Structure 1
């Protein structure tokens, strides 16, 4: 069965973006970048990876899930951001923008969609954001991989949105600390 991995950059205080969706405080260069890319190859938009000379084939995922706000970060320049992956955007309010032919927009229940995806053959499923979608899918997440950045944001989009108090134990897999200050913390569900 396929696994759902929530792989995302996060601040030390638990935000994946600022109040206006900004994420420019997260480090994209440094000694962590190459090693994390090697492990999570294919987790950059196709055009950006090509411009940086980064291969996207052979990564752990063949499907990427995101909410509208995460998807909209790349608009209008990247309406089909992860062309090398199957792309699913969850939205109740928005229609597909021009140029997004390779993206599936759905207002279906995310839990139902993820359960169907897990039953299919294929590689891993990547939840790249956002916090509200992660809150809905919390019980379906098999792996949590956090690129913890050495910054406090103070406000913004929480890692798991407004998820109510409901403790769920995770088992640590690995923690890798880098000179850049980034820490890759990886967990699996018990």
Structure 2
């Protein structure tokens, strides 16, 4: 029996659930840059990002995250391993001519149904970076299989939250791995039951 590809959300999150603008003020709220500015850098607290590379076979983005990451990650030595991986962008409005050249094969998906079909295709794990609105929608649709979270000891108050406030059915998560670091960052890896 063929197994489905896993869809994994990975991201930095504040203790109050905000996931946007960890490295700057891209989203425009005054607390942007909270990963870089507010917490001591410890390489071991970010080791999860390197570990994910070995498992990543494709990347999935919402339109805004794709437009923010693609031009930077395409030329970034830190993200060189992602360059030739297949990328998928979920957007109802993005056109082929708006895709970034030189960053590997990119496919535009139009709906959650397209993502469900992608999960049934051949291949390994698909990682979602950024893309809070997309992640909420996919979670509501029961399409996310795992969360890789680095939770930072900051309360931001404003910003995009990872989890929906919709009155959805309860989902129980199973803790697969965790670690606490001296700078207050927590690594939490959950499978969705």
Q: Match for 1:154 among 154, 157, 165?
A: 157
Report how far residue 125 of structure 1 moved. 0.8
Change (3 A) 1:34 1:184: closer
Change (3 A) 1:173 1:3: same
Q: Match for 1:61 among 43, 56, 61?
A: 56
Residue 54 of structure 1 is matched in structure 2 by: none
**Residues 121-132 of structure 1: matches in 2 within 5 Å?**
121-132=122-133
Change (3 A) 1:84 1:163: farther
State yes or no: 1:35 paired with 2:36: no
Report how far residue 33 of structure 1 moved. 4.2
Measured in 2, the distance between the counterparts of 1:61 and 1:76 equals 20
- Structure 2 unaligned runs (5+)? none
TM-score by length of 1: 0.77
Measured in 2, the distance between the counterparts of 1:115 and 1:171 equals 22
Measured in 1, the distance between the counterparts of 2:119 and 2:99 equals 28
Change (3 A) 1:177 1:77: closer
Q: Which has the higher strand share?
A: 1
Q: Match for 2:27 among 21, 30, 53?
A: 21
CA offsets 1:53-75 (integer angstroms, 9 cap, x no match): xxxxxx10111111112112236
Contact 1:7 1:127 (C-alpha < 8 Å) held by counterparts: yes
Change (3 A) 1:76 1:157: same
- Structure 1 unaligned runs (5+)? 42-58
TM-score by length of 2: 0.76
Q: Which has the higher helix share?
A: 2
Q: Match for 1:12 among 15, 35, 41?
A: 15
Change (3 A) 1:98 1:20: closer
Instruction: Return structure 1 stretches of 4+ with deviation > 4 angstroms.
Output: 75-81
Root-mean-square deviation over aligned CA pairs: 2.6
Measured in 2, the distance between the counterparts of 1:184 and 1:124 equals 19
Measured in 2, the distance between the counterparts of 1:187 and 1:144 equals 5
Residue 55 of structure 1 is matched in structure 2 by: none
Contact 1:32 1:182 (C-alpha < 8 Å) held by counterparts: no
Change (3 A) 1:123 1:29: farther
Secondary structure of 2:9 counterpart:
strand
